[in-house]
Amino acid sequence: MQLVLDSRGLKISKKNDLFFVESEKGSRSISPAKLTSIAITANVQIGADAIVLAIRHGIPILLFDRIGKAKARLWSPYFESIATLRRNQVRFGDTPEATAWVVDLFLLKTQAQADNLKFLHDHSGSLAGGFSAAIRSIKGQSRKLEEFRDKLIDECRQQVMGVEGSIARVYWQVLGNALPSAYLFQTRSRRPAKDIFNAALNYGYGMLYSVVEGGLFAAGLDPHLGILHADEHNKPTLAYDLIEPFRPWVDRLLIEECLSRKLEPRFFTKNKFGIFLNKHGKAFLIPRFNDFLRSDRPYLGQSSSVKNHIYFMAARLAQRIRAAMDE
């Protein structure tokens, strides 16, 4: 499970080889064997002994900002693979096989987006039109991606992102108009969000980034060596690539919460900058996201948890790099 520290003034230390969490309401001990990660979303105190305990047990400590994006990660400084893989990762980015990998990611993403629209059409009872046309448009535009499969990414980066952007506009327009009235929106808004659906989505994506980055580390890859997303200072650009096919999974999670009217307006705070998930919203969304990560689903011919699928995709990329560089 993930230990979420979301209340100001919490203290976490080590006691008898257990995590010891103290608050105004009391204290509790937690075995490292029960934890997969520690998420910090408020101003809390964590002792060096607790950090070392987490590192010793391979438990990442994640510090999140208010929209759910991990701003820092504390864990072992050592990759779980030899440096040869990361050297080959750099070389791989300059081959057509890297572009083919990007195309495959977007084809998976666009199929999931089309599936989401079909799900929304079947379950929402919405009178909004355009579902069939949008799905046809998404599938038709996604076929254009095949044109770039044999090119170097530097030769077609903007065109690939242009196709993906065109698909996204169709997807979000139909999705935003088909949700129950409390969640309707006109366009995808990021930082900051202009509506509660996008505020929740931004937070969900932020949490997803951390899982994807963890999968890349576990596979021995460097998350900062992007392929489609060009290198940026201190940015895990490969995680920005690998997250793409999994974004619609978070979309579906929130679509279902909206259809059941469980995503409540009181979970959000509005200020002059935009709309943000508040403490009540985080208490609602974080457990659901963690349940989502543990939930089983079939994908690419196998059934496993969402988190395992993400880690498998990172491992598949490592295998693809090794195979391409061995040729």
For 274-290, the pLDDT digits (tens) are 999 999 999 999 999 99
So what's the pLDDT on residue 70? Answer: 66
Q: Averaged over 192-214, what is the pLDDT?
A: 93
For 3-61, the pLDDT digits (tens) are 777 777 889 999 999 999 988 888 889 998 888 778 787 788 898 999 999 888 878 78
Within 13 A of 305's CA, how many CA atoms are on the CB side? 11
Cβ contacts of 165 within 8 Å, gap of 6 or more = none
How is residue 271 written in tokens?
Answer: 């200020």
Q: Averaged over 194-214, what is the pLDDT?
A: 93
Q: Of the ranges 229-233, 271-275, 301-305, which one carries the lowest mean pLDDT score?
A: 229-233
For 72-95, the pLDDT digits (tens) are 777 776 655 567 888 999 999 999
The percentage of residues in the chain with a pLDDT greater than 90, rounded to a whole number, is: 63
Four-residue CA torsion sign, 174, 180, 184, 190:
negative
So what's the pLDDT on residue 37? Answer: 75
Contact, 175 vs 121, CB < 8 A? no
Please report which residue ranges of 57-95 form alpha helices under DSSP H.
Answer: 83-92
- Give the DSSP H/E element, type plus range, for residue 3: strand 2-5
For 230-261, the pLDDT digits (tens) are 765 567 899 999 999 999 999 999 999 999 99
We find that the CATH architecture of domain 2-59 is Ribosomal Protein L15; Chain: K; domain 2 (3.100)
For 166-184, the pLDDT digits (tens) are 999 999 999 999 999 999 9
Q: Averaged over 208-219, what is the pLDDT?
A: 88
Domain extents for the chain? Answer: 2-59, 83-326
How is residue 155 written in tokens?
Answer: 């030769």
Q: Averaged over 206-233, what is the pLDDT?
A: 85
So what's the pLDDT on residue 63? Answer: 82
So what's the pLDDT on residue 246? Answer: 98
Residue with tokens 């999931």: 112
CATH fold, domain 83-326, is: Four Helix Bundle (Hemerythrin (Met), subunit A) (1.20.120)
Q: Averaged over 193-207, what is the pLDDT?
A: 95
Q: Does the pTM exceed 0.75?
A: yes
So what's the pLDDT on residue 288? Answer: 94
So what's the pLDDT on residue 115? Answer: 97
My answer on whether omega of the bond before 192 falls inside 30° of 0, hence cis, is yes
So what's the pLDDT on residue 59? Answer: 82
- Say whether pLDDT at 199 is over 90: yes
The percentage of residues in the chain with a pLDDT greater than 70, rounded to a whole number, is: 93
Residue with tokens 């987006």: 113
Contact, 228 vs 102, CB < 8 A? yes
